[in-house]
A and B are shown apart, each in its own frame.
Chain A
Amino acid sequence: MSSSILQKRTSGEKPGFRLAAALDRGTWLPLGVFLVTLVIFSIASPAFFTWRNFAATTGEAATLLIASLGATFVILMGSIDLSVGAVVLLVGTVTVAILNLFPNSDLGPLVLPFGALLGGVLGAFNGVISVHGRVPSFVVTLGSLSVFTGIALSILAGATIMFDLPLFDFLSLHRSIPHLPNIALWAVLLWLLAIFIGSRTRFGRFILLIGGGEQVARTAGIPVDRYKVWAFIASGTTAGLAGIFAMTRLGAVGPSLGGDLLLNTLGAIVVGGTSLAGGSGGVQRTFIGVAIITVLSNGLNLVGVGPYWQLVIKGLVVIGAVLVAQDRKRGLIIK
């Protein structure tokens, strides 16, 4: 008699990786919210459910998804990264500035590894100070948000730098699959890679353990500090990649790049169902969070809600998501 119970429980082992796991509240609730918003906006705006709009929103969602991947690991281990948008801006700015310095060179193909590397270095800056200096990540990344933004804005000096390369068009705007911009394709590939890392690797396991019980992990001999720094590096790396993709998609880098990502990345991660207290959720859930946030922005635009009210609504949705999802017994401690 116990074998059937055993079978059932086994399916819950890797959250989000098996179908049965979709039954838990953390997954079906965001999914339900997404479907409801889809239906509402389809009825409210004739422009919503169209191929044209699909291509536009998936392009937008792609940047957000890429930027949120690494940050999900940071939140999953019980810390927070507020500097994602600033890293996007700084990496985009530095890359464009370098490309414009050498206009005739063939640097184009190098932008992706360069962006990932620069983002990783910025993430390492956050991680090393937070972990080894024992400063809460909230404070460190709030500070570095200001530092990175300041550097980027002083390079840009208030201007928007334009540029154009055919390779970049192929990276982001070209549609290898009809109606789907390539940038969305890349985002999904990176997402699948992140899911694999989260659910099947030592890194993913350790991050989850640290989020569930940092002291327990430490006492069992897990090199907690090292893996915490790696999570921040991962967050910086995906933010750097997001900076490059955003740049190629827009064909320009201006002061407002990444400005909406502070709220949108945290919103997508939390709305998707990753707990701010750490130890529950994962990168697989961030996808649905990104979908909700993007559809919400896009739908509100189409319905004609002004940008200021959009801020109000998005903020309320994020707060609501935390209210609904948090485990009140564990409290909310962000390290």
Chain B
Amino acid sequence: MSDPPALLVVDGVAKSYGPIPILRQITLAVPPRSIVGLVGENGAGKTTLFNIITGLAKADSGTMLYRGKPYAPRSFGEAFSMGISRVFQEQSLVLNVPVYENMLLSQEHRFTRFGQLVDRRAMIRVAERIVREAGLDVDVRRAAGEYDFSRRQAIEIARACLAPKHLMGLEDPLVLLDEPTSALDQKDETAFADLLARMRAHASFIFVSHRLTEVRELSDSIIVMKDGVITGTLTPQEADEKTLHGLMVGRDRADDFYHLDKQRASVVSPVVCKADRLSGADFHDVSLEVRAGEILGIGGLLDSGKSALGKAIAGVQRPKAGSVTMGDRTTTRPNISKLVRMGLGYVPAERLVEGIIASFNLAMNLTLPSADRFSPRAIWRNGMERAAAQAAIRQMRIRSGTPTVLLRDLSGGNQQKVVLARWFLRELTVLVLDNPTRGVDAGAKEEIYQHIRELTGKGVGVILVSDELTELIGLSNRILIMQRGAIAIEIPAPPESKPTEHDLIPHMLPKAA
């Protein structure tokens, strides 16, 4: 074979966080000066793989070869010094600092004279050379914040591709791009594609994107991941949307996984929660209604504003305009402590930051919102709390749960069951869920779905915000697709005629894509 030796080889890499395997036996190769597309649903393990390649996480097992030598970076800096860098989803430029300083951030030691003084002119020279070679029209002396999002991204990509050469004489670096286009409009996307085409003369890329058309157009080969496993490696010609989806989603989900028999067909029940012309940081002018016993799904890309919408309805983040109605009360300043007393529940997406206090025990995490029940007057009723915790552990089948077990000693799925159980203790009318099964294994997922169905059986209206399309389709009665902060379309999803992912995805992407 005349194939040149691969730039990077990942061989049998595996990684678990606690009891949950994130990556199992990942093996792939990146040929020099190539663009490898990496696709998969959220939670497939793409980001963890990137973390391992760039030294932000350590593999539990497996090896990597880089330029033919064993490679096991201990830090991001070490990976960078060997020519591997990464452009993050959230940009990492410091806005009030000149472009050249941003480009050479943490590389200042290469420009010192007499030990301490930084040679700014030399820094500017190098930065200018990088910008010129990348074909960017950027004045490196101006603050990064003076350039718009897409231009700043171009600066980051140029830095990643060219800085190793100009700083360390390293040709052919490897650049990892983490959803670089999810926040770009069509014009910017064309510019991005052009830049990538120019840069491939200097570097190799692994490129994660949810926009499948784009991945097909830009990549030399496409790797598909699902649940921590590579399910396919395709050429762009082989990778039609149907094949990609099949590999990304895998099995046709059995109906009983989502308990479709319990999905309520009727939606003539009264409205329990209403948002009227709600606007916030990432969404604008959104109106919606949820009826008793109904699951209203909200889908969209990461930047669609769907999570922020959920937070605004639940009163976690105050909206800029509009109102929320629960029962017969309307408020323009929804506040979660008040809404909770009126029968609202909220399950946040970021379990460890917003959902649980990992160093506290199960009982305390369980009764968080229920002071009205466990402390009707000033005194906290510990005995009653313990009994409630024991009942919840039985009911939700929280494995290795005791009232006093610390939450950090439970698996993600069982932690999530505690977060759900928290609201099951209360008389709910509305439950807002933001990615309720993120980081949860399939078994616990199914149980969580069952509990959600039980709630709707009791007449609770559920708002389900989710990145996972299969979950959205499987659970919802109706699905709202958001795009750039507005509702693009409402799609009905009755049990007898569920839409497919193909019906949803086109509405999630900007029209022209």
- The majority secondary structure among interface residues of chain A is helix
Q: Which residues of B contact A218 (CB under 8 A)?
A: 316, 336
Given the interface contacts A209-B368, A220-B368, does A14 sit within 8 Å of B375 by beta carbon? Answer: no
Nearest B-chain residue to A6, judged by Cβ = B402
Smallest CB gap from B390: residue in A: A6
- Residues of A contacting B341 in the complex (Cβ-Cβ under 8 angstroms): 221
Is B337's CB under 8 angstroms from A9's CB? no
A219 vs B357: C-alpha distance when bound (angstroms): 12
Complex Cα–Cα for A217 and B353 (A): 10
A158 within 8 A of B: no
Question: In the complex, are the beta carbons of A215 and B354 less than 8 A apart?
Answer: yes
Contacts A10-B403, A218-B316, A220-B369 given; indicate if A201 touches B357 (C-beta within 8 A): no
Known A-B contacts A219-B336, A219-B348, A222-B369; A201 and B404 likewise in contact (beta carbons under 8 Å) = no
- Bound CA span A216–B415, Å: 13
- Closest chain-B Cβ to A180's Cβ sits at a distance in Å of 31
Question: Which chain A positions have C-beta within 8 A of B405?
Answer: 9
B387-423 interface code vs A (CB 8 A; 1 in, 0 out) = 0000000000000001111000000000000000010
Contact across chains for B404 and A9 when beta carbons are under 8 A apart? yes
For window 174-213 of A, CB contacts with B under 8 Å fall at 200-206, 208-209, 212-213
Report chain A residues within 8 Å CB of B112: none
A143 within 8 A of B: no
Q: Are B375 and A205 in contact (CB under 8 A)?
A: yes
B236-272 contacts to A, CB under 8 A, are: none
Query: B339–A221 contact, CB under 8 A?
Result: yes
Closest Cβ neighbor of A206 among chain B residues: B371
Contact with A along B332-368 (1 / 0, CB 8 A): 0000110111000010100001111101110110001
A14 and B363 alpha carbons, distance in the complex (Å): 11
B382 part of interface (Cβ distance < 8 Å): yes
Q: How far is the CA of A323 from the CA of B340 in the complex (A)?
A: 40
Q: How far is the CA of A280 from the CA of B356 in the complex (A)?
A: 16
Number of residues of chain B lying within 8 A (CB) of chain A: 32
B400 to chain A: closest residue by CB: A2
Give the complex CA separation of A279 and B371 in angstroms.
Answer: 18
**What is the distance, in angstroms, from B119's C-beta to the closest C-beta of chain A?**
35
Docked CA distance A202–B72 (Å): 50
Query: Which of A5, A9, A220 has the most chain B CB within a 10 Å cutoff?
Result: A220
A13 to B336, CA, bound (A): 28
Q: A212-B360, A216-B356 are in contact. Are A221 and B369 (CB under 8 A)?
A: yes
Asked whether A279 and B336 contact (CB < 8 A) given A202-B378, A206-B371, A219-B346, the answer is no
With a cutoff of 8 Å between Cβ atoms, the chain B residues found around residue A5 in the complex are 402
Which of B336, B368, B378 has the most chain A CB within a 10 Å cutoff?
A: B368
User: A13 near B361 (CB under 8 angstroms)?
Assistant: yes
Q: In the complex, A9→B393 CA distance in Å?
A: 16
- Partner of A279 from the list B339, B359, B363 (CB cut-off 8 Å) is B359
B residues in contact with A251, CB < 8 Å: none
Beta-carbon contact of A201 and B380 below 8 Å: yes
Q: In the assembled complex, how far is the CB of residue B361 from the closest CB belonging to chain A, in whole angstroms?
A: 7
- Complex: how many Å from CA A30 to CA B346? 41
Chain A residues bordering chain B, tally (CB within 8 A): 30
Does A223 reach chain B (CB closer than 8 Å)?
yes
Q: A216-B356, A221-B337 are in contact. Are A13 and B369 (CB under 8 A)?
A: no
A208–B364 Cα gap in the complex (Å)?
10
Assuming A6-B402, A10-B403, A10-B404, is B336 touching A202 (CB within 8 A)?
no
Is A209 touching B359 in the complex (CB atoms < 8 A)?
A: no
Query: Which of B355, B371, B380, B382 is within 8 Å of A219, CB to CB?
Result: B355
Contact of B382 among A14, A203, A216, A217 (CB under 8 A): A14
CB distance from A212 to the nearest CB of B (A): 4
Find out whether the CB atom of A202 lies under 8 angstroms from the CB atom of B340. Answer: no
Query: Is B379 in contact with chain A by the CB < 8 A criterion?
Result: yes
Return chain B residues, CB-CB under 8 Å to A216: 353-357, 368
- The reply to whether B340 and A221 contact each other, CB–CB distance below 8 Å, is yes
- Given A6-B402, A10-B403: A202 touches B357 (CB 8 Å cut-off): no
Chain A residues within an 8 Å CB radius of B356 = 213, 216
A1-40 CB contact bits vs B (8 Å, 1 = yes)? Answer: 0000110011011100000000000000000000000000
| CB proximity to A under 8 Å, residues B446-487 | none
Q: What sequence of 0s and 1s flags, for each residue 112-124 of chain B, a beta carbon within 8 Å of any chain A beta carbon?
A: 0000000000000
Chain A residues with Cβ below 8 Å from B340 are 220-221
CB distance from B416 to the nearest CB of A (A): 14
Within 8 Å CB of A279, what residues of B? 357, 359-360
Number of A-B residue pairs, CB cutoff 8 Å, is 90
**A residues 46-89 in Cβ contact with B at 8 Å:** none
Please determine whether A204 and B380 come into contact, CB atoms closer than 8 angstroms.
yes
A201-B354 CB under 8 A given contacts A209-B364, A279-B359: no
Tell me whether A201 and B379 are in contact (CB under 8 A).
Answer: yes
**Residues of chain B lying within 8 A (CB to CB) of residue A280:** 359
Q: Which chain A positions have C-beta within 8 A of B403?
A: 10, 13
Q: Whose C-beta in chain A lies nearest to the C-beta of B355?
A: A216
Q: How far is the CB of A4 from chain B (nearest CB, A)?
A: 12
| B402 cross-chain contacts in A, Cβ below 8 A | 5-6, 9-10
Among B164-216, those with CB < 8 Å from A are none
Query: Which residue on chain A has the smallest CB distance to residue B363?
Result: A13
Q: Are A203 and B369 in contact (CB under 8 A)?
A: no
CA of A205 to CA of B397 in the docked complex: distance in angstroms?
A: 26
Return chain B residues, CB-CB under 8 Å to A13: 361, 363, 382, 386, 403-404
Q: Which of B339, B357, B379, B382 contacts A213 (CB 8 A)?
A: B357
Expressed in whole angstroms, the Cα–Cα distance for A206 and B369 within the complex equals 10
Report yes or no: A12 in contact with B404, Cβ–Cβ below 8 A: yes
Contact among A10, A200, A206, A221 for B336, CB-based, below 8 A: A221
Q: Which residues of B contact A213 (CB under 8 A)?
A: 356-357, 360
Least distance between A193 CB and chain B CB atoms (Å): 12
> Which of A203, A222, A330 is in CB contact (< 8 Å) with B337?
A222
Whether A219 and B404, one on each chain, are in contact in the complex, defined by CB atoms closer than 8 angstroms, is: no
Nearest residue in A to B365 (C-beta to C-beta)? A216
CA distance A213 to B358 in the complex (A): 9
Q: How far is the CA of A202 from the CA of B380 in the complex (A)?
A: 5
CB distance from B249 to the nearest CB of A (A): 31
Closest Cβ–Cβ distance, residue B28 to chain A (whole Å)? 33
- Give the residues in chain A near B378, CB-CB below 8 Å: 201-203
The complex places the Cα of A280 from the Cα of B361 at a distance, in Å, of 12
Determine the residue in chain A with the shortest Cβ distance to B311: A219
Q: Which residue of chain A lies nearest to B378 when distances are taken between CB atoms in the complex?
A: A201
Q: How far is the CB of B110 from chain A (nearest CB, A)?
A: 31
A81 CB to nearest chain B CB (Å): 23
Contact of B422 among A206, A215, A220, A223 (CB under 8 A): A220
Neighbouring A residues of B357 by C-beta, 8 Å: 209, 212-213, 216-217, 279
Nearest 5 Cβ contacts at the A-B interface: A221-B340, A213-B357, A220-B368, A202-B375, A212-B357
- Interface CB pairs A-B, < 8 A, 7: A5-B402, A200-B379, A202-B378, A202-B379, A208-B364, A216-B356, A220-B336
Q: Other CB < 8 Å A-B pairs besides A202-B379, A206-B371, 15 of them? A: A9-B404, A201-B380, A204-B380, A205-B380, A212-B357, A212-B359, A213-B357, A213-B360, A216-B354, A219-B316, A219-B336, A220-B336, A220-B422, A221-B337, A221-B339
